């Protein structure tokens, strides 16, 4: 990147200042062969070769292996690697490629200007601009938060100061220049408006033939000839005028101050600049400046130049003549300019850059996953476990978990190598009286929150990820008492008290995101103040559940149908009315397994077990294994999974696990199941409120009225493409990064 441009000046001066700073972090440099400061100097350690060309594919794909997820990478242009996993700082000097595409014909540059720039700005953790003008351009053309942008003006190299007559003469002779001249320094590209400058100069020369010659210093853009664009060979003055314009090409850096100092005036009618080093350098060398009244130049030069409309040839010509004629004006501009340039310090600029690095480097990436269960391992804990595993294996987060006990769920997390901390969970639904329960929950949340705060403070937690409604209130209190970003994961379709609690507490700015496992779970908050905070992240099936497609059963006829019902046995889950509805079917043709922990409700438990015994007497084989650890094996032993829930399911992870094993889902048509189960296509629906609906469905299966092979295949393909773990976990990772980057 270090060549002959403004970006080169920017980098060279920052690097010099970094080297002299006592407060710099450990800095590594990615360099190419043409780097003219770092690569040849033993004073700059930590150099790493990076051979990829700018705007190349390899620049994106093969960034050096030294870069890690915990690193901060500063790219001085927007050709940044989108795949870089750490913190990305991008300096945007201007949007010239984007705003003035007509001057940049190369397909690579135009692609970067339209598509790539947008992606880089979104990816960047911090965007540095060298002027407020460029900041406003970004805000105007892209959907970027202003707080993401840091405006840090460039400095000015002390190398630029007024040189003596002797030095000016040496530079003129070394570069074979006339004693009197007007000067332009910069790249020779269309947007620099040099053709218009030559036309304006020609117009002035025609009026004042003794006008000083125009010297143009800079590297020519390949294939671009501004003189031919400005002047026609058929012009009667062409031959005489041609000698008035001197294209000097490259001038050594050490000669530039003498070159600036010896000029009658410096001319800079550029159409678009993000900063504009040359006019400041000219000011610093005691030369009056003519500059455009557009883009960043009025901001940077702050009124200490003659400003012109860069599109108005007549205005440029008149200003040139005025500068050459009016010595008092030149002297005034020179004196004011010398005072103005003192404001531009590379030392200040470098310190502000280092502060950006330090802010990103020092931010804690500590996340605490909190669950309301330590023993129980249901569908919500399966998903929570996958999230913890993914964040831990990703290595970009310091992961910890906090649970109420060291039961089965806690032991699974510990096996991953994740530290498990203990804290008490607020009491919930213990009296069956809503008002009393609400009061108890509030008081215990208020009392126990001190334990959660202690954990968060001791481990410098930045994100608190809460799985389970019992800890929402506690996490809200914690976020009010300390700087925490909180995320809630909703696995239920909330109603009444719980919904109201989420609506009220979720408005707090520290509750950064609410993740719902389905559109159904999100829909109850439609139109509320928390609606915009809710992201839908569907549950997924672990890859280990997916059988090979060739193993999908094509079975249509059953002499004995094996049904499985998974989940806590409770009134809400509907196992009791489900058994009642099939009590008149021939029990010898059915085997029913109801796997789950019994709810702590003696009346319900007695009624349920009494019905089971009656059905067994009628020939039904009913298995009650309790909580099942190996769900995959249990599902595989059965032909059908019945989801009998009487309340809306937020997702129903057991449904997609069954589909992944080639087991057909039979479900009460309710809740989120309607989002991915289509009757006769990916599953079978019945109406739990109609006692005849499920028996009729079973009879139709026995009579082979459904294409079960098609249902299995469709369901399997749907789960494989829509609910695969890598896709959902990538979305989860993106959500975490957005939360981390946000400001409470």
pLDDT category of residue 1 using cuts at 50, 70 and 90? very low
Please tell me the predicted confidence (pLDDT) of residue 233: 85
DSSP character at residue 546: P
pLDDT category of residue 34 using cuts at 50, 70 and 90? very low
Please tell me the predicted confidence (pLDDT) of residue 52: 65
Please tell me the predicted confidence (pLDDT) of residue 63: 59
- 422 or 433: which leads in pLDDT: 422
pLDDT at 446 over 80: yes
pTM value surpassing 0.75: no
Segment 298-325 mean pLDDT: 96
Please tell me the predicted confidence (pLDDT) of residue 36: 46
- 308 or 49: which leads in pLDDT: 308
Please tell me the predicted confidence (pLDDT) of residue 699: 96
Segment 645-671 mean pLDDT: 93
- 76 or 136: which leads in pLDDT: 136
CA distance 120 to 122: 5
pLDDT in tens, 325-378: 999 999 999 999 999 999 999 999 999 999 898 888 756 689 999 999 998 888
pLDDT in tens, 451-482: 999 999 888 899 999 998 999 999 999 998 88
Please tell me the predicted confidence (pLDDT) of residue 108: 59
Question: Structure tokens of 132?
Answer: 């407020």
Three-class SS state of 184: strand
Within 10 Å of residue 95's Cβ, how many Cβ atoms?
22
Domain positions in the chain are: 6-151, 165-343, 364-540+728-741, 544-723
pLDDT category of residue 729 using cuts at 50, 70 and 90? very high
Asked if domains 165-343 and 544-723 share a fold, the reply is yes
% of the chain surpassing 70 pLDDT: 91
Residue 623: name the closest of 637, 633, 614, 612 by CA: 612
Question: Per the CATH hierarchy, to which homologous superfamily does domain 544-723 belong?
Answer: Glycogen Phosphorylase B; (3.40.50.2000)
**Distances in whole angstroms, Cα of residue 154 to Cα of each of 91, 130, 325:** 11, 6, 33
Segment 387-400 mean pLDDT: 90
Please tell me the predicted confidence (pLDDT) of residue 651: 87
To the nearest 10°, report the CA torsion of 59, 60, 64, 68. Answer: 150
pLDDT at 676 over 80: yes
Helices (H) and strands (E) in the chain, counts: 30, 25
**Measured CA angle at 571 (ends 570, 576), to 5 deg:** 90
Token pair 């403070």: residue: 457
The least confident of 62-76, 212-226, 285-299 is: 62-76
Angle between helices 653-660 and 379-394 (to 10 degrees): 80
pLDDT in tens, 159-209: 999 999 999 999 999 999 999 999 999 989 999 999 999 999 999 999 999
Token pair 């006829």: residue: 557
pLDDT category of residue 220 using cuts at 50, 70 and 90? confident
Please tell me the predicted confidence (pLDDT) of residue 103: 65
- Asked if 477 contacts 699 with a C-beta cutoff of 8 angstroms, the reply is no
Residue 325: name the closest of 271, 264, 246, 395 by CA: 264
The pairing of beta strand 420-422 with beta strand 126-129: unpaired
- Biggest CA pair distance of the chain: 120
- Asked if 275 contacts 137 with a C-beta cutoff of 8 angstroms, the reply is no
**Measured CA angle at 188 (ends 184, 193), to 5 deg:** 75
Stretch (H or E) spanning 631: helix 631-636
Residue 263: name the closest of 346, 337, 345, 341 by CA: 337
The least confident of 172-181, 391-400, 416-425, 678-687 is: 391-400
CA distance 53 to 106: 15
pLDDT category of residue 442 using cuts at 50, 70 and 90? very high
pLDDT in tens, 696-728: 999 999 999 999 999 999 999 999 999 989 999
Segment 374-395 mean pLDDT: 89
CA distance 169 to 531: 72
pLDDT at 495 over 90: no
- Dihedral over Cα of 111, 113, 115, 117: its sign: positive
Using CB atoms within 10 Å of the CB of residue 552, give its burial: 0 to 12 exposed, 13 to 18 middle, 19+ buried. middle
HSE-CB at 239 with a 13 A cutoff on CA atoms is 2
Please tell me the predicted confidence (pLDDT) of residue 112: 58
CA distance 698 to 590: 10
Question: Per the CATH hierarchy, to which homologous superfamily does domain 364-540+728-741 belong?
Answer: Glycogen Phosphorylase B; (3.40.50.2000)
CA distance 260 to 287: 7
Please tell me the predicted confidence (pLDDT) of residue 105: 63
Question: Structure tokens of 35?
Answer: 């780097």
CATH number of 165-343: 3.40.50.2000
Residue 330: name the closest of 386, 280, 390, 266 by CA: 266
- 349 or 37: which leads in pLDDT: 349
- Dihedral over Cα of 163, 164, 170, 172: its sign: positive
Residue 468 main-chain phi, psi, to 5 deg: 125, 130
Please tell me the predicted confidence (pLDDT) of residue 535: 95
CA distance 188 to 268: 12
Please tell me the predicted confidence (pLDDT) of residue 39: 45
Highest average pLDDT, of 155-159, 314-318, 539-543, comes from: 314-318
- Asked if 672 contacts 518 with a C-beta cutoff of 8 angstroms, the reply is yes
pLDDT category of residue 2 using cuts at 50, 70 and 90? very low
Within 10 Å of residue 208's Cβ, how many Cβ atoms?
13
pLDDT in tens, 531-574: 999 999 999 998 889 999 999 999 999 999 999 999 999 999 99
Query: What is the average pLDDT value for the chain, to the nearest integer?
Result: 89
- Asked if 116 contacts 97 with a C-beta cutoff of 8 angstroms, the reply is no
Three-class SS state of 151: strand
- Dihedral over Cα of 128, 132, 134, 136: its sign: positive
């Amino acid at each position: 990147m270090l060549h002959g441009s403004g970006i080169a000046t920017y980098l060279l001066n920052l690097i010099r200042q970094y080297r002299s700073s006592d407060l710099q972090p450990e800095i590594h440099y990615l360099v190419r062969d043409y780097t003219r400061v770092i690569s040849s100097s033993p004073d700059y350690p930590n150099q790493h070769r990076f051979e990829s060309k700018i705007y190349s594919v390899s620049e994106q794909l093969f960034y050096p292996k030294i870069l890690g997820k915990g690193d901060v990478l500063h790219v001085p242009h927007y050709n940044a690697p989108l795949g870089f996993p750490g913190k990305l700082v991008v300096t945007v000097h201007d949007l010239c490629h984007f705003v003035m595409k007509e001057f940049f014909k190369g397909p690579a540059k135009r692609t970067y200007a339209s598509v790539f720039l947008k992606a880089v700005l979104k990816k960047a953790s911090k965007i540095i601009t060298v002027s407020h003008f460029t900041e406003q351009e970004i805000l105007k053309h892209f959907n970027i938060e202003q707080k993401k942008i840091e405006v840090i003006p460039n400095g000015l190299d002390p190398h630029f100061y007024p040189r003596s007559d002797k030095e000016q003469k040496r530079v003129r002779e070394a570069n074979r220049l006339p004693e009197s001249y007007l000067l332009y320094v910069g790249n020779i590209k269309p947007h620099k408006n040099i053709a218009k400058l030559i036309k304006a100069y020609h117009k002035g020369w025609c009026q004042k033939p003794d006008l000083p010659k125009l010297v143009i210093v800079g590297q020519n853009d390949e294939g671009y000839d501004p003189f031919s664009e400005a002047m026609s060979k058929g012009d009667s003055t062409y031959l005489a005028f041609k000698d008035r314009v001197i294209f000097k090409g490259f001038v050594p850096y050490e000669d530039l101050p003498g070159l600036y100092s010896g000029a009658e005036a410096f001319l800079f009618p550029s159409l678009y600049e993000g900063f504009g080093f040359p006019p400041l350098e000219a000011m610093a060398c005691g030369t009056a400046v003519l500059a455009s009244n557009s883009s960043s130049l009025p901001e940077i030069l702050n009124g200490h130049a003659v400003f012109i409309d860069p599109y108005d040839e007549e205005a440029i010509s008149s200003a040139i003549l005025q500068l050459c004629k009016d010595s008092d004006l030149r002297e005034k501009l020179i004196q004011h300019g010398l005072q103005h340039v003192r404001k531009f310090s590379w030392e200040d600029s470098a310190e502000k850059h280092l502060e950006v690095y330090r802010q990103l480097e020092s931010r804690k990436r500590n996340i605490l996953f909190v669950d309301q269960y330590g023993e129980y391992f249901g569908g919500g804990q399966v998903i929570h476990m996958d999230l913890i595993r993914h964040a831990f294996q990703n290595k970009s987060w310091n992961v910890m978990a906090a649970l109420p006990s060291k039961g089965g769920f806690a032991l699974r997390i510990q096996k991953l190598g994740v530290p498990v901390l203990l804290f008490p969970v607020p009491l919930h639904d213990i009296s069956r009286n809503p008002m009393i329960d609400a009061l108890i929950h509030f008081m215990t949340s208020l009392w126990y929150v001190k334990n959660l705060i202690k954990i968060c403070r001791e481990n410098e937690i930045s994100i608190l990820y809460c799985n389970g409604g019992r800890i929402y209130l506690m996490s809200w209190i914690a976020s009010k008492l300390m700087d925490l970003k909180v995320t809630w994961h909703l696995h239920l379709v909330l109603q009444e008290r719980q919904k109201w609690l989420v609506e009220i507490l979720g408005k707090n700015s520290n509750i950064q995101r609410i993740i719902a496992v389905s559109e159904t779970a999100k829909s109850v908050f439609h139109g509320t103040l928390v609606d915009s905070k809710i992201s839908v992240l569907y549950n997924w099936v672990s890859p280990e559940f997916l059988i090979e497609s060739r193993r999908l059963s094509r079975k249509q006829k059953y002499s004995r149908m094996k049904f499985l019902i998974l989940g806590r046995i409770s009134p809400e889950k509907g196992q009791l009315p489900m058994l009642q509805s099939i009590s008149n079917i021939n029990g010898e043709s059915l085997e029913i397994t109801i796997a789950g922990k019994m709810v702590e409700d003696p009346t319900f438990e007695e009624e349920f077990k009494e019905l089971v015994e009656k059905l067994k007497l009628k020939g039904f084989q009913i298995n009650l294994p309790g909580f099942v650890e190996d769900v995959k094996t249990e599902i595989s032993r059965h032909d059908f999974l019945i989801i009998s829930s009487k309340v809306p399911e937020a997702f129903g992870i057991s449904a997609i696990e069954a589909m992944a094993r080639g087991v057909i889902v039979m479900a009460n048509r309710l809740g989120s199941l309607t989002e991915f189960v289509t009757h006769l296509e990916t599953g079978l629906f019945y109406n739990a409120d109609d006692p005849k609906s499920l028996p009729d469905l079973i009879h139709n299966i026995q009579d082979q009225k459904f294409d079960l092979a098609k249902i299995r295949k469709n369901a399997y393909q749907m789960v494989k493409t829509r609910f695969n773990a890598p896709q959902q976990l990538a979305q989860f990772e993106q959500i975490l990064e957005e939360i981390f980057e946000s400001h409470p």
